[in-house]
Amino acid sequence: MPTYKAPIEDVKFLLNDVFHMERYGNMPGFADTSPDLVAAILEEAAKFAEEVLQPLNRSGDQEGCTRHPDGSVTTPQGFRQAYRQMIEGGWVGISVPTEYGGQGLPATMTMIVNEMLASANMAFAMYPGLTQGAIAALLHHATEEQKKTYLPKMTTGEWTGTMNLTEPHCGTDLGLLRAKAVPQADGSYRITGTKIFISAGEHDMSENIIHLVLARIEGAPEGVKGISLFIVPKFMVEADGSAGARNSLLCGSIEHKMGIHGNSTCVMNYDGATGWLLGEANKGLHAMFTMMNEARLAVGMQGLSQSEVAYQNAANYARERLQGRSISGVKAPDKPADPIIVHPDIRRVLMSIKSFNEAARALILWTALKGDVQHRSEDGNARQAAEDHVGLMTPVIKGVITDKGFDNTVMAQQVFGGHGYIGEHGMEQFVRDARIAMIYEGANGIQALDLVGRKLGRDGGRAITAFFKEVSEFVKQNSEEAMKPYVAPLGEALAQLQQATMWFMQNAPKKPDNAGAGSSDYMHLFGLVALAYMWAQMAKTAQEKLKQGANGAEERMKAKLVTGRFFMERVLPETAAHLKRITTGADTMMALPAEAF
């Protein structure tokens, strides 16, 4: 049976030593977030993830959700009880402002907790995760009355939330949506239409479900400029705040997915359901993007979560499984064979995943901290720089970390040999669950196009220029001998990323297909450089801690340095292949007529 152990020490290393969370103490929510409080939160979240959620992961996958004839949905056995414990622990609203019943802690803390929950049980973690995204949209776009009506019970988790975008005939192209909204005399709207792929659309864990639904008001312009966002509760809300009469919406069916079976992904039918405008009319996509961007970062974290739990189980198996003898000589003479962890190819797999996971976690937390600066800092320049960073990194985190997260679950599965595709070992579930993260919240090809087509040139390239400057300065300032194994490869990879960026500037305007043809390679090239930058910072910190005595963490710091060197030597060189592919352009890719495929 699979196991999971939350990476508490790694998170503490990043927050306390690499990113120095105490430096953010002048911002709301950070002043009271001492290392001791952070450690206590991590310990409690780890306990909940390891002891409550992880044991439900396989059984939830096997049982799935059940839709009943009346449209109601039952979640897998144990989910309701676990969700009740989550509410009692206050985990849903730890970063929501205190005025709505939250704890007001940095959003970074929510991201950390959610990685643990998703590693333990990705399908379960999506229920509170979607609620948190809906809360973010309400905080930014709702009226005060709407906030008072919905946020307190969503913050506690008594009510959950969803996002309703996609329809049967349109995926990412939301300009094609047909759901309509008819204005009523009392200021409400009647919402009619069908939405698909609605995660947590119907279930039995909360008293009410608050749907955020994209629809077009009658007479609104065609395309994305005529889309509005509406609050459509499952149950109408009474004057005293309680759930009242059932609204005119129903789960038509549950999607039969390859993974995350414990999450009820629904077809939702709206038949003149009562809804209220969220934000401005015809500006719904702007409001929904608040939720989508939060979701994209969260999905990137899901890619890491499955890579992490798959790695842990593969490493455990490799230490225990006896097979063959080491090519460099017997390592376990008292046993009939050596454990497979002695074999170089097994080490290649484990080191590849380990070096990715630790850097990916750093990249996600670095960006989460920037997100807190964006929303909490009183310094306008700092907020702008942070917003630039988050916008630039969102498609990279979503696209690269879910792509590689899936690849890593497959590699981890390979460590088990034939046992890897046997259900009881859990590896095939990690593969199935991780694969979905590459698709939803915008398939990864869309993330790559967003990065190349929108983010690079935005505001005259301000965000990418700032990133180039920061990494370049780090390389120059850390040229001492001990850091050369880290900064020299980083500098070379950065130069290749800059070369690829310049190639797009010179070749995409006259032939836009060149940008599309190279976008995925560019996204992964960018991701490798960002991950390498994380490793360079971690290596510098580990070296400093070793000089200071490391306070009992010597072995962990030495392991950091070795793992970072592995990334620089064996993973980062892939940047050269990405650059080569980018600069071939689109000619051969686009040459064949459609009939030739």
Q: Is 509 exposed, middle or buried (0-12, 13-18, 19+ CB in 10 A)?
A: exposed
**Cα 79 to Cα 156: distance, rounded to the nearest angstrom:** 17
The most distant pair of C-alpha atoms in the chain lies apart, rounded to whole Å, by 84
Between CA 240 and CA 231 the distance in angstroms is: 18
Please provide the DSSP assignment of 140-160 as one string. Answer: HH--HHHHHHHHHHHHHTSEE
By the 8 A CB rule, do 138 and 146 touch? yes
The two three-digit tokens of residue 477, written as one number: 């300032």
- For residues 537 and 477, the answer to whether their CB atoms sit within 8 Å is no
The DSSP code sequence of 427-465 is: HHHHHHHHHHHTTSSS-HHHHHHHIIIIITTGGGGHHHH
For the chain, the 3-state helix, strand and coil shares in percent, each to the nearest 5, are 60, 10, 25
Q: Which amino acid is at 173?
A: D
Looking at residue 326, the DSSP 8-state letter turns out to be: -
Beta bridge partners of 192: 180, 271
Question: Would you tell me how many other CB atoms lie within 10 Å of the CB of residue 278?
Answer: 25
Q: What amino acid positions are annotated as catalytic residues?
A: 441
Q: Which residue is associated with the tokens 């500098």?
A: 491
Q: How many residues does the chain have?
A: 597
Rounded to whole angstroms, the Cα distance separating 48 from 89 reads 9
Distance between start and end Cα atoms, the chain: 44
Residue 369 three-state SS: helix
What are the φ/ψ torsions at residue 228 (nearest 5 degrees)? -120, 160
Alpha-carbon Rg for the chain in angstroms: 24
Instruction: Give the pairing of strands 228-233 and 235-237.
Output: unpaired
